[in-house]
């Protein structure tokens, strides 16, 4: 979807989200292309969470939600709360992590996935393995096997070590997986992860609708 405009165009690809995002990253990292754009006073940008500019405003969601809970008396200021975030590209939940880093009282960040449960497996095993079947589900924004923003969390887990982070990302690109062996356990303990199958998702949507007439 997009807006109408003389300078707005839609391009279709034969592939899934991972294919699109991978090729966009290749374009961003193409030195020759970047130099050509610079010569013509042009610059690539991304509107999705590859761009940190997408994540920064999302931090506000969590601060605002917390403030509303305090305002309505649901919690007291300073109480820790948990956030469950459905995610595929790990952007919104990473914003929640940054909200905690700036002082928001957060207990657990629960990473909720669908049948493409690569993130669930990572948080349970410390192994990120994209070598698996890509499943098309009824929650397409979570149909992702290469979770772009997890790289940012890995950077923090490795003590902000860009070299070690790059080594793991290279292993993911060349071998299809990597294992996290030396990391900040305190940060990782902040996260929990589970997933729902298509059948479980449909059943829960039905249950909530019958309970509250809400979809």
| pLDDT tens string 174-205 | 999 999 998 999 999 999 999 999 999 999 99
Domain ranges for the chain: 52-212
Please state, rounded to an integer, the average pLDDT across all residues of the chain.
93
Question: Which residue has 């699109």 as its token pair?
Answer: 20
pLDDT of residue 2: 64
For the chain, strand residue ranges (E) read 81-86, 106-113, 127-129, 177-179, 191-195
Cα separation, 112 vs 88, in Å, equals 9
Q: How many residues in total does the chain contain? A: 215
Q: Please write the tens of the pLDDT for every residue from 138-179.
A: 999 899 999 999 999 999 999 999 999 999 999 999 999 999
Name 194's bridge partners: 112
Q: Is the pLDDT of residue 122 over 70?
A: yes
pLDDT of residue 48: 77
- Can you tell me the mean pLDDT for 201-212? 96
pLDDT of residue 6: 81
Q: Rounded to the nearest 10 degrees, what angle do helices 52-71 and 91-101 cross at?
A: 60
Q: Name the DSSP letter for residue 144.
A: -
Please give the structure tokens belonging to residue 214. 């809400």
- Can you tell me the mean pLDDT for 123-150? 95
Helix (H) or strand (E) holding 164: helix 162-175
What is the CB-side half-sphere exposure of residue 193 using CA atoms within 13 A?
A: 22
- The verdict on pTM exceeding 0.85 is yes
pLDDT of residue 1: 55
Q: Please write the tens of the pLDDT for every residue from 1-51.
A: 567 778 888 888 888 888 888 888 888 889 999 899 999 999 888 877 778
Instruction: Report domain 52-212's class.
Output: alpha beta
């Amino acid at each position: 979807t997009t807006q109408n405009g003389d300078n707005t165009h839609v391009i279709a690809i034969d592939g899934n989200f991972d294919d699109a995002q991978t090729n966009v990253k290749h374009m961003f990292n193409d030195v020759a292309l970047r130099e050509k754009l610079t010569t013509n006073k042009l610059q690539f940008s991304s509107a999705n969470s590859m761009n940190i500019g997408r994540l920064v405003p999302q931090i506000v969601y969590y601060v605002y939600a917390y403030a509303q809970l305090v305002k309505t008396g649901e919690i007291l200021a300073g109480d820790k709360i948990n956030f469950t975030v459905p995610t595929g590209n790990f952007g919104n939940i990473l914003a929640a992590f940054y909200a905690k880093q700036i002082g928001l009282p957060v207990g657990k960040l629960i990473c909720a996935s669908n049948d493409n449960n690569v993130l669930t497996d990572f948080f349970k095993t410390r192994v990120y393995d994209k070598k698996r079947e890509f499943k098309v589900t009824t929650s397409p924004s979570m149909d992702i096997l290469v979770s772009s923003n997890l790289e940012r969390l890995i950077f923090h887990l490795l003590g902000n070590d860009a070299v070690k982070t790059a080594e793991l990302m290279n292993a993911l690109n060349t071998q299809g997986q990597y294992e996290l062996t030396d990391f900040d356990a305190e940060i990782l303990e902040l996260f929990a992860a589970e997933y729902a199958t298509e059948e479980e998702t449909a059943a829960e949507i039905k249950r909530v609708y019958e309970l509250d007439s809400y979809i």
